[in-house]
Chains A and B, each alone.
Chain A
């Protein structure tokens, strides 16, 4: 499988180092290794969601219970979750670390993935959600740590966009 297992591992280890103990996810191609790593980790509570917005509620509950969490999804999952993000995470000041597979950009071969990527950044901007890209594996550890720090200090959603350069293995 050309999804990078090496870089998925770097992301997973960065999440662990940031104290993530609850991971909610809705499977998509780029996330397969990350989800399997969570599944194989006895110290990680993995929640496979039916729909991404549930993950916002789980993040709030985990925070109330004293745990750090991350929500992994594709950009269509983010677009699906908007009401939960606004009416729970933003309204109630909930730290919400989102890792979003940013499909639909240069190199996207799947016609059905070409629309969602166009709106992800403008919607994040409209919601005043701070975000950054994960592109270079060398930056992943620091960016994940900083994103978690900001989510916890601002009690707000923070997004990290997983790029094709990071997630897809070059051949």
Chain B
């Protein structure tokens, strides 16, 4: 009967068996994927049965990230091998890489003892040594993670390293017969040949134990495996195969997620190097300077808008802004005018080389129309300045120029430990306000909230009030 609906049970069984024999697991996707949020696992199991749902829901809280391995029957071997190299990168010590290479080479004796021929396995081993050397070299540049991912997604390199670690595990088991024989019913040699060395076999518990003892433990790398199965409990069971060592506070740890027949790599948030922190102070300084520009007379503004152009006013602007920022009085929030050593006549600048100062501040010279933040004006010299035409500046009393005018504070300001701006202490600082951006570089960077990569991304909106009246309104409301 040709209609499949009328197959006899035997025929149907035979057909199913045939389908089952021909079945090849899904082997799409990268050999080793990018690190991603482990919330994806919980989502994947959202429609699964409750045991899985509960266990996967608990996962992201502890293990923030995971990385997929292609389920081509090697994923366990691949995951551990990848984890080994990644853990070494995490430690980030060139010597450690060299020590590991020497150690692996010395293990060739073990492979020879188990009857492997050096001329055959050396091709596979070389790929592992090469990768160690490559990663050691990458520590300077810091592109190790990319290199590692690239290497493991190259079929030939990836498979060579997998073959090599399989041979390591197999040789290790055979060299410790009395230790491993208890777990194995057949003789060790044929067990290793069929269940470890064969090209197409996934890692089993004996393999994991052997590999972690042979490869990971001596390197001080920890290994734990989470078993996600139907066993009772609210969290996946964790089994620790190897205890990590502490390398100056860095603890290399491989965490695997096991789902029947498949391994993926898990990460806790603390396993990862901290992402570079954005420097919000940059924005504050830019803003601070901005406000001073607005406070000056319109013609001064015009001049200061021209890049590379500076006038007496501009000098005074800088002077005031630096003075406010760097002199001890700058944190004085009283509305009583503080002593103002920072107001200095223009003459005091004459001996200073002009070019460096202006070069280091070109960043700040840009359109002046962006909205300012709420700002208390603590010093009366703002209003004073607004009324004074630039030519009158030389007639100010002339105290000695404060140190803050020198170039040294400028250097500190650009590189190093910032002292907080006074405006940061105000309530509502940085909350919900569109930061005025000063340079095209800043505007296009992700520090700008208008940039899609900014954590508090907010599309740029044009608001007519912010252009002229916004400033005055704010000024009044906060200073009353």
Tell me if chain B binds chain A: no
Chain A: residues with CB nearer than 8 A to chain B? none
Report which B residues bind A (CB closer than 8 A): none
